[in-house]
Structure 1
């Protein structure tokens, strides 16, 4: 199996990467002085193509976050030189040279353009209020802007929209590219301008530990197998340069599942089973047959342009039921025909240039879907399985690259930890032998046994009110399969039950301090005292906490007070509160508190249940339908000083109705109270 390992491209400053897919090849652009370009056949191996923007276009300035759109034979680049507004540039080649065709149109940084199936254009950009978007009247004309509902509680940038099965999937990034906590959020909408609904598991890409950190500013592109999409993003290096990363992404009606971020060897993007690369389009007269028999179900892609004066042209699929995909210049239509005649006809976009090279992609199996330049144009109840493919025209025409791949594509391998759609069999990769937890979320048949590598595994714990079930098993360092009937499945290492012994003195006014070990479940005894409390002060304990970072360029602790994934229990002037954090904060529960500047409490985190106790009594409980499964324990100060704090593991008392006693941390079993012990 061919593999790749992130970062896949280093030492070229691949900041804010954008990948254009054109005529069977990929073209990569990034933030650098002359917008250098690289090309690839497989998304992994890249060849330098040189500068695309002449120096005189933006003398002394660096074009930020360039993106390129191809339309009717022309390539349009959108970029912001040094962040001073935006310009539109144009070229007749993906490798340039690109020349300005507008003046400065303003509008902040990070323009991204999306074209919908109906041919309408939309533009998105960064803003400190969140991502804004607008309709476009042409490649150079922009309408009134609106907020689309994507906000990272501060500067928000790097938008990118892709449409899949009628849903609009957005990724966006924040807050500062020099922070380890630079991250990618995902959202979905029924409309290109929103409102977008945030993924409940955001951020979908974040990492603040190890060598591959500061992950952000992404785009998404269709892979070489014509089925799998890949998200492309950068990471931050110590010298502030940025490298290139890719990972697969799976879209559903509700969310995008990212198979990452990864920094270990992963299966390389699958190449098509059949492919003919023609980077220089080939001129043909009347007919040309490709040497291909299309798979029974799958996708195929062709590139074709009509010569001057050609009235009708298209692709003939010969087989049991001969099918023709025909374009008519005079009528400006595309039709599907069989031996009996017309099956379906649709109008092409009104400005369709028949003499420009266009991409024609067909997806077939349970019917036929035809995409022109990635825009869905028509559907028909026919199949192309087993057919050959030939181009035809009533004169001269041009063909480009072509490819075909079966719908029975190679299985995607989900890296652990991961979130995955649970309604299908999935393959997941374990890199370290040990105990793992599998969680069925939004479970339709909560409590059913699942199958891991074909073996039946009953649940450890079921919470039908929350529609979830926990499973646990030992796994080897290998690839494994899972069959589970749930909306979403989470797979993660099981780090055991317990907590570090952590002590702090005089931390704050804005600090996060954690132990060194990760834990899944925990029985935490915490004691802390607070002083020098300012307005809105809070002091407490964080647990199952991971991906800790600070704001700004990585040193603003106040801005980064919520920059982590995990839970927090805190006291304030008159409240004791339980919060959940995913680089934001959500209040899960609270009670009045009049204990002043000192608190002593116990936290029990078991599965999706969080229980808070004082003096042996339960004071607050919460069941999380989408629990965070593991992380560190530690302290959190907000506008105050924690003068002293200690965290230690404890054995929680078992309620009298359950026999009393306590729990053994190592076995997670009940120890009877002294009067019932023997020997």
Structure 2
């Protein structure tokens, strides 16, 4: 999500045992497993106070108790951030990938106006950092005018186990354009841009995962604070398409609104999970107000490989790890 739409958010950690969906306040959660622990990297700083000048992380071994992992990187640690001459800058929508025995943190840097947004990358030896910026933007966007152009936002990196290639997916919001690049083995430089089509209903927040030889491109549709914000997906025989649009799988219901900007993860016990943000409020009128909440729910696949509609849960109905459900 773009920086200016997030300044009112507050991130509060759920540290007490027995916490249930939603797990904590936050937005744009990127999730990965590190061993048996689920790590979530959201927009915002750690420790219960919102900040657009840093990233933090949180981990859990059971999805009940969440541990803050401190500051990963601060805005002041990015040497090129002021090179565009804009009067202020913000960080949002982190994406994390692992390769070469290291962790790579990709992130959006705004504003989009008066200068184009950019995507940076930083490297660490551990998931909690500290992360060291690579020294230059990885991708620079284009100013969007009359609904055309490209915003360099919402980065996600997928390392294809079958080919060994590493792909960066990014883009969305105004212009609603998806672009993909193949990264070099160092994960901090680009080999080439890969031509891809933007799939139907794409707005932002692309995510790629693979299961049983099928590649799933999922993404957010609609306005970030609207009732139509939702998760849609397409499938393909490769990480770069061609896409076959499959429809919406996560949409507003009577108790939760605007679910989106998500990650898919496979737990050590084999269950698939989706980590996303939503508003905890009944159906009403937009724009939605209040704080977005991070939630985790189960993903179920039909025999033909399609994803069944995802049911948002609360309380004890939420998934658990370590033999608990």
TM range (shorter): 0.7 to 0.9
Corresponding position: 1:91 with 2:124: yes
Q: Corresponding residue for 2:74? A: 54
Q: In the superposition, relative to structure 1, how do residues 145 and 228 fare at CA in structure 2: closer, same or farther (>3 Å)?
A: same
TM-score (structure 1 length as normaliser): 0.37
Corresponding position: 1:194 with 2:241: yes
Q: Corresponding residue for 2:40? A: 28
1:76 touches 1:89 (CA, 8 Å); kept in 2? yes
Deviations 1:266-306 (A, max 9, x none): 15324159xxxxxxxxxxxxxxxxxxxxxxxxxxxxxxxxx
2:298 touches 2:319 (CA, 8 Å); kept in 1? no
1:3 touches 1:268 (CA, 8 Å); kept in 2? no
Match of 1:151 among 191, 200, 212: 200
- Matches of 1:89 and 1:136, distance apart in 2: 14
2:221 touches 2:229 (CA, 8 Å); kept in 1? yes
Match of 1:205 among 242, 250, 261: 250
Match of 1:223 among 267, 277, 285: 267
Q: Corresponding residue for 1:407? A: none
Q: Corresponding residue for 1:168? A: 215
- Matches of 1:270 and 1:15, distance apart in 2: 22
Q: Corresponding residue for 2:140? A: 106
Q: Corresponding residue for 1:67? A: 95
CA RMSD for the aligned pairs?
2.5
- Matches of 1:55 and 1:20, distance apart in 2: 23
- Matches of 1:144 and 1:187, distance apart in 2: 20
Deviations 1:490-525 (A, max 9, x none): xxxxxxxxxxxxxxxxxxxxxxxxxxxxxxxxxxxx
- SS of match in other structure, 1:48: strand
Q: Corresponding residue for 1:124? A: 169
Q: Corresponding residue for 2:58? A: 38
Shift of 1:257: 2.1
2:176 touches 2:204 (CA, 8 Å); kept in 1? no
1:3 touches 1:266 (CA, 8 Å); kept in 2? no
Q: Corresponding residue for 1:530? A: none
TM alignment of 1:510-529, pairs within 5 A: none
- Matches of 1:66 and 1:206, distance apart in 2: 23
2:248 touches 2:309 (CA, 8 Å); kept in 1? no
Shift of 1:140: 2.0
Shift of 1:169: 1.2
1:27 touches 1:39 (CA, 8 Å); kept in 2? yes
Which segment drifts farther, 121-130 or 156-165? 121-130
Shift of 1:231: 0.4
Shift of 1:207: 0.5
Q: Corresponding residue for 2:106? A: 78
Shift of 1:256: 1.4
1:188 touches 1:254 (CA, 8 Å); kept in 2? no
TM-score (structure 2 length as normaliser): 0.74
Shift of 1:17: 0.3
Q: In the superposition, relative to structure 1, how do residues 24 and 270 fare at CA in structure 2: closer, same or farther (>3 Å)?
A: closer
- SS of match in other structure, 1:7: coil
TM alignment of 1:291-440, pairs within 5 A: none
2:18 touches 2:65 (CA, 8 Å); kept in 1? no
- Matches of 1:67 and 1:261, distance apart in 2: 23
TM alignment of 1:557-572, pairs within 5 A: none
- Matches of 2:194 and 2:200, distance apart in 1: 15
2:262 touches 2:274 (CA, 8 Å); kept in 1? yes
Shift of 1:240: 4.3
- Matches of 2:63 and 2:208, distance apart in 1: 20
- SS of match in other structure, 2:76: helix
- Matches of 1:186 and 1:114, distance apart in 2: 16
Corresponding position: 1:266 with 2:317: yes
1:169 touches 1:256 (CA, 8 Å); kept in 2? no
**Unpaired runs of at least 5, structure 1:** 274-409, 411-679
Q: Highest Rg: 1 or 2? A: 1
Task: Report the count of equivalent residues.
Answer: 264
Corresponding position: 1:184 with 2:222: no
- Matches of 1:182 and 1:44, distance apart in 2: 27
- Matches of 2:238 and 2:304, distance apart in 1: 13
Match of 1:214 among 258, 266, 285: 258
- SS of match in other structure, 1:151: coil
- SS of match in other structure, 1:56: helix
Q: In the superposition, relative to structure 1, how do residues 209 and 190 fare at CA in structure 2: closer, same or farther (>3 Å)?
A: same
Shift of 1:258: 4.2
- Matches of 1:82 and 1:241, distance apart in 2: 21
Question: Structure 1 stretches (4+) deviating beyond 4 angstroms?
Answer: 2-5, 237-240
Shift of 1:261: 2.4
Which one has a larger percent strand, Structure 1 or Structure 2?
1
- Matches of 2:295 and 2:55, distance apart in 1: 18
Q: Corresponding residue for 1:140? A: 188
Deviations 1:312-364 (A, max 9, x none): xxxxxxxxxxxxxxxxxxxxxxxxxxxxxxxxxxxxxxxxxxxxxxxxxxxxx
